[in-house]
Chain A
Amino acid sequence: MRNLNDFYSFTNEAQKALANFFVSIKNEGQNYPAEDIEELMESLTEHIEILICEKLRYSGNQRVDAQMILEILYSLGEPAEIVSELGAEKSERREKVNIKYKYIPVQKMLCRSSRDRWIFGVCGGFGEYFGVSSLLLRFLFVFSGVGILFYLLLSFLIPDETRMESGEKSHGADLIISAVRVGFLFFMSLIYIPVIAAFSITALMAFAGLIGLDPFLNIPFTGYLIGMVLEFTIFVLSFSVLVLLLNFIMQAHFNRGFLKIGSRNVYAFSVVASLAVIALVFGNFNKYNKYIGESSEHFNFKTPQHSVTMVFDEKQSYSPLFEKNIEITGSDETGSIEVSVVKSSYGPDEETAREYCNDIEVKADMDSEGKLLFSVSAKDISRHYYNFPKLKFIIKIPSNMEFKVETNNFENKRHFRWISWHGENAVSIYKIKGTAEIEVENMNLNASDIDSQKLSLNGANGNIYARQIKTGDLKIQLTNGNIKAEKLEFHKGSMQSATGNIKVESIKADFLKCESKVGNISLYKISINNESEVVSKVGNIKIEYAALEEKSSHDVSSEVGNISLRLSYAHPPRVVAKSNVGNIFNEFEDVKFNENSAAINVKSKVGNIKINKDELD
């Protein structure tokens, strides 16, 4: 029998399909005279060859592909039917050998298609290899962005079909083929391994959450991974729906879609599409948004037309893994005022974190004098036992604008941090309860009516004015500016100024430390229970002691400046004054004191020392 392979160039699949057909004929014809079967096959070969010649001439192709062969075989009919037409009596009943002649490709080769080719035939090759629509692959390659790069890479890696099947499979060709296979496996693993890993992690975490463990473990990476996987899944699902829709439209209007109806593609896509529909209908993807990186909220308000209250409500998604910024910006009619607040927080879990944000209310309002009043209040912050939200406020205030901040109900042991800069005028804080830490740059800071456990005021290039402060721990620090304070009451406190003056009226404290490098220090009406230390390098020191507890000790020292003290005569302290260069004037020199008297140690290197009795006391 004539072997058509010797005369025509067949693709692997075509060759396989034809061979399978003749095998089926032989199988069916087992009980017929061998010469009849031989003759039949001869005739069929002739028939097929005629059609091949015709089809090749008609299509202009050089090669016989599977499509062509299958068309021909389809027109011939089932092998069983053909053979049974021989009509010779079967010698005996036999078990029917059930072999379908539908071709079973055994060794498929991934190569760039020579038939289904737009550019390099990569998509066509993949389509033939995996039995998917090449048009669909083209869409995927084009729309996935990086796909175009992959396409070029693959066009280099994957050999051309015509060259591969030209017959001469040299050693070099084998090498290329195996290289391509390795490359392809590597490429697939690049895509699949992370995706599978991510899916597994997600599943594990979902399971952990189901049995009540903390599924997030506070690892940002896993959260990010979940986000990525979900995004990817949503993309694939929605893309599948789109493709099916498009296919449906094309099928309906042009009677031609990219998916062959009845093929595996359609079933696969139907499954995917129904999953997508189910997912889109029943799945609440919004709740996963929080895993996707950092998120932020933006509010905008205008004054003075409106007074605006911004409340961070429950519905806002909140990330337990990532910092969440809530930005509030506002401006007045002229656009000269600009306020922005960044509220950020971390939480141990989603619910707590959301509660944090929930309990804090931020308000911007105009007061009767036309000043912008900005208030932050906590509704019920006391129920959070740890990890109070870290609040960061950035306020941009133009010059000639006065700004007030009011905070309410920040209970004990809570942390309130305020950072503000870029303004030339004052920031005022009122009514802070609990711990407050305030930082100011390039502007004045006014603090009053504060009743807190811990208060920290930090300033650079501006004055600090503090009034009516009652706190456990006080820290006032200034690099470039004056400190002025009134009515301070604290357990332990320190006031430091690098270049400015420090002036305080009325201090009631257990421990006090006051330090100035260049400026003067003036302290009036101070009552100290345990210890105090006042140090100045260049500036003068002036202190009026109101009351010193028995057995308390006090140091006053200066390098260059003069020291002037006024002491109460009623409770005379033990005073020791020393000056290396300057003069000493001490009214207490002759005053008798007892064992329990407070001790004052006064030292000066260069300056004079003057200690006066307070006659009024």
Chain B
Amino acid sequence: MNDNENLVKNKIKELKKGVLELAVLKIISDRERYGYDIIEVLKSVSLATSEGTIYPLLTRLKNEGLILYKWEESDKGPPRKYYTISAKGSELMAELLNEWKKIDTGLIKILGGR
């Protein structure tokens, strides 16, 4: 792989990373979800980067008090960690969503119409 390809890949990664936290918060605010579930959703909208990097992100969000989790038994397979959004998280999410809408409309102006 040459340097140029690497560069492109890294830039795309950076681009996704910015909105990844917001996306995760939004996904778990709809209903409680476990890690793999979250990844599946992100994958379906091609927002996922390396699957493994979602877990440290969740840990970070939890450490910041934005999300909570609880263990739950699963009828098929191992017990799972279900994540829910905290009150603090909800607040932050609302702020971020607001901000995102501004970015969105701004970007559309720059990048051209839909």
Binding site for B on A (CB under 8 A): 2, 7, 36, 39-40, 42-44, 46-47, 49-51, 53, 75-79, 81-88
Indicate which residue in A2, A39, A40 contacts B78 across the interface (CB closer than 8 Å).
A2
Name the distance in Å between A5's Cβ and chain B's nearest Cβ.
13
Cβ A76 vs Cβ B63 within 8 A: no
User: For B36, what are the chain A residues with a Cβ–Cβ distance below 8 Å?
Assistant: 46-47, 50-51
Contact B53 A40 (CB under 8 A): no
Q: How far is the CB of A326 from chain B (nearest CB, A)?
A: 65
B81 to chain A, nearest CB (A): 6
Quick one: which of B77-102 are within 8 Å of A by CB? 77-78, 80-81
Q: Does B51 contact A (CB under 8 A)?
A: yes
Task: Indicate if the CB atoms of B50 and A82 lie closer than 8 Å.
Answer: yes
B residues sitting closer than 8 Å to A (CB atoms) are 34-36, 39, 49-53, 55-60, 62-63, 76-78, 80-81
Q: Shortest Cβ distance from B35 into chain A, in angstroms?
A: 5
Q: Evaluate whether A87 and B52 lie within 8 angstroms (CB atoms) in the complex, with A46-B78, A50-B78, A53-B76 already known.
A: no
Which residues on A sit within 8 Å (CB–CB) of B35? 43, 46-47
Q: Given the complex of chains A and B, what is the CA–CA distance between A218 and B77 in angstroms? A: 75
A46-B36, A47-B35 known; A82-B60 Cβ under 8 A: no
Tell me, rounded to whole Å, the shortest Cβ–Cβ distance linking A537 to chain B: 106
The answer on a CB contact under 8 Å between B63 and A46 is: no
- A86 nearest CB neighbor, chain B only: B56
Q: Which secondary structure characterizes the binding site on chain A?
A: helix
Min CB distance B62 to A, Å, is 8
Report whether A44 and B55 are in contact in the complex, using a CB–CB cutoff of 8 Å: yes
Q: A4's closest neighbor in chain B, by CB?
A: B78
Task: Kindly report which residue of chain B lies nearest to residue A2, judged by CB atoms.
Answer: B78
Asked whether, in the complex, the Cβ of A36 is within 8 Å of the Cβ of B50, the reply is no
Residues of A within 8 A of B52 (CB): 44, 47, 75-77, 79, 81-82
B77 touches A43 (CB 8 A): no
Are A36 and B53 in contact, CB atoms less than 8 angstroms apart?
Answer: no
Of A2, A50, A81, the residue contacting B53 (CB under 8 A) is: A81
Residue pair B78, A43 in contact (C-beta under 8 Å): no
Given contacts A44-B55, A46-B34, A46-B36, contact A81 B78 (CB under 8 A): no
- Is A40 a contact of B59 with CB atoms below 8 Å? yes
Cross-chain contact of A85 among B53, B62, B77, B81 (Cβ < 8 A): B53
Chain B residues within an 8 Å CB radius of A77: 49-53
Enumerate chain A residues within 8 angstroms of B62, measured Cβ to Cβ: 39
Residues B63 and A36 in contact, CB atoms below 8 Å apart: yes
B77 touches A50 (CB 8 A): yes
**B53 surroundings in chain A (CB, below 8 A):** 77, 81-82, 85
A53-B74 Cα distance, complex, nearest whole Å: 12
Q: Closest Cβ of chain B: how far from A449's Cβ, in Å?
A: 90
Min distance, Cβ A398 to any Cβ of chain B, angstroms: 83
Min distance, Cβ A177 to any Cβ of chain B, angstroms: 33
Contact A76 B59 (CB under 8 A): no
Shortest Cβ distance from B48 into A: residue: A75
Q: Which 6 interchain pairs have the tightest Cβ spacing?
A: A77-B50, A76-B52, A85-B56, A82-B52, A77-B52, A43-B55
